[in-house]
Structure 1
Amino acid sequence: MTKERQILGESGEEAAFEFLRKKRYRILERNYKTPLGEIDIIAQDKDCLVFIEVKSLSNTSYILPQEMVNKRKQEQIIRVALSYLKAKGLRNADCRFDCVAVV
């Protein structure tokens, strides 16, 4: 990963964090890592646990950031989310998967 992409990703994650905080999400984890992969943000939205992938692109891109969350990435996020739920004893929790796109 180039330094420029790393900076873009970090600033996008910070923008997403602020956006979610203003929407009154309770942020539980940022950059939650396991051997299975990583989830950018795990948050609570009312009674729902939300697993959030943040995608950032410059405005010179020809695709939308959320289009970068392909089937393989979705499957990885699901595996990490299941691992998180098991580790926290939350197997029956209501949850959903969101993508925050930052341009």
Structure 2
Amino acid sequence: MAKAPEPSPADPRRRAAERRGHGAETLAAWALRLKGYRILGRRVKTPHGEIDLVAVRRDTVAIVEVKARADADTALSAVGSGTQRRLSAAARVWLARHPAYVGHTIRFDIVMVVPRRWPSHLANAFAATD
């Protein structure tokens, strides 16, 4: 089955989705700050893809994927094995760029943003993949 073509960057639906995603990332960052995390990076670009948020609390660095969906189950299921592989590879690049955090525990978290609810933070949502 052929893959649907990517929408044009000028497509109003794509721009609206990007605005929703950026808003969800902002809300997720504030929720993490209120839990005691310091945000080290937002929309961190690597050759393997983008990391939505990089946060640190004590000796733990959280690589955070933010998903904005209609409900939490849909948001959680949107982080499949491909996303997990991409985030694992991107985290290795981030860590190589930030050697001061090499001794920290690296964890992969998901923040689910659903309408009319406070963001839900799932710590240690998955393990790194090769």
Q: What TM-score, normalized by structure 2, do the two folds share? A: 0.71
1:93 CA drift (Å):
2.6
The one-character-per-residue Cα deviations of 1:6-33 (angstroms, maximum 9, x if unpaired) are 1211111111011011111011011110
Higher RCO (CA < 8 A, seq sep 6+): 1
Which structure: larger Rg? 2
Residue segments in structure 2 that go unaligned for 5+ positions in a row: 1-6, 8-13, 115-130
Letter in 1 for 2:37: Y
Residue segments in structure 1 that go unaligned for 5+ positions in a row: none
2:61 aligned to 42, 46, 49, which one? Answer: 49
What is the number of residues matched between the two proteins?
Answer: 101
1:62 CA drift (Å):
9.2
Report % sequence identity: 33
Alignment root-mean-square deviation, CA: 1.7
Corresponding residue for 2:106?
95
Distance of aligned partners of 1:31 and 1:87 in 2 relative to their CA distance in 1, 3 Å threshold = same
SS at match of 1:31: strand
Q: Does 1:82 align with 2:92?
A: yes
Corresponding residue for 2:78?
68
Q: Give 1:2-13 correspondences, 5 Å limit.
A: 2-13=14-25
Q: Give 1:21-60 correspondences, 5 Å limit.
A: 21-57=33-69, 59=70
Q: What TM-score, normalized by structure 1, do the two folds share? A: 0.88
Letter in 1 for 2:91: A
Structure 1's consecutive aligned runs of 4 or more residues displaced over 4 angstroms after TM superposition are none
